[in-house]
């Protein structure tokens, strides 16, 4: 659907150069001399890159309806990641490329948010924190404090993170999925 630049709002999806962008913020500017324009900060849905564009008031943009649905990660089979849409109860198979960086922290039965456009999942958004079990690490040494240093540890998804020295095999930890850092032992 084609819209005027004056109909733009935060959180809206726009199609620009065959890429889908979300409007982060926008400012209508009316300089003392010349015509008005709108300065818009856009975030690419697939890559996450933020760009800034300026549009004249006469410009037309393509509005894309975006939905955010809850998806539950079920299992990994070959090169496909299977999810269940909580609204329709349909199974959706996505490739590793479509899932993106979320692959590092996907645990079975984890509920994620799917950014959906015209029935196609554009992006998988993880919750801010997950709780995972340590699958592989060197044994902890008694008396080590959390400030003494860190060591690498592999969690059950296969991703390696840095954890404090006192963390042992089969410990359960909370991880910030935005940064990939250890938060606390659970």
Q: What is the CATH number of the domain that holds 111?
A: 2.40.50.140
For residue 37, what are the domain limits?
Answer: 2-64
pLDDT digits (tens, 9 = 90+) for 44-95: 887 778 999 998 888 888 888 888 899 999 999 888 999 999 888 999 999 8
Domain count across the chain = 3
Distance CA 87, CA 80 (A): 21
Please say which residue of 22, 49, 64 terminates a domain. 64
pLDDT digits (tens, 9 = 90+) for 105-128: 999 999 999 888 888 888 888 999
- Cα torsion 101, 106, 111, 114 to 10°: value is 30
Distance CA 151, CA 128 (A): 23
Residues in Cβ contact with 145 at an 8 Å cutoff, skipping those fewer than 6 apart: 164, 166
pLDDT digits (tens, 9 = 90+) for 141-174: 666 555 668 889 999 999 999 998 888 899 999 9
Please say which residue of 32, 64, 96 terminates a domain. 64
48 and 14 both lie in a single domain: yes
Collapsing DSSP states into helix, strand and coil, what is residue 140?
Answer: coil
pLDDT digits (tens, 9 = 90+) for 25-39: 888 888 888 888 889
Q: Which two tokens stand for residue 60?
A: 């037309």
């Amino acid at each position: 659907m084609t819209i005027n630049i004056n109909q733009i709002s935060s959180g809206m999806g726009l199609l620009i150069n065959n890429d889908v962008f979300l409007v982060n913020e926008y400012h209508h500017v009316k300089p003392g001399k010349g015509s008005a324009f709108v300065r818009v900060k856009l975030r690419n849905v697939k890559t996450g890159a933020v760009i800034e564009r300026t549009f004249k008031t006469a410009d037309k943009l393509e509005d894309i309806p975006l939905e955010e649905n809850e998806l539950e990660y079920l299992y990994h089979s070959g090169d496909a990641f299977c999810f269940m849409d909580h609204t329709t109860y349909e199974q959706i198979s996505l490739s590793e490329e479509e899932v993106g960086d979320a692959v590092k922290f996907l645990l079975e039965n984890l509920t994620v948010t799917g950014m959906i456009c015209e029935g196609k999942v554009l992006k998988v958004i993880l919750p801010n924190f997950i709780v995972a079990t340590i699958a592989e690490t060197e044994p902890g040494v008694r008396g080590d404090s959390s400030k003494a240093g860190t060591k690498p540890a592999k969690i059950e998804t296969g991703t390696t993170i840095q954890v404090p020295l006192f963390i042992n095999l089969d410990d359960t930890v909370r991880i910030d999925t935005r940064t990939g850092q250890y938060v606390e032992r659970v």
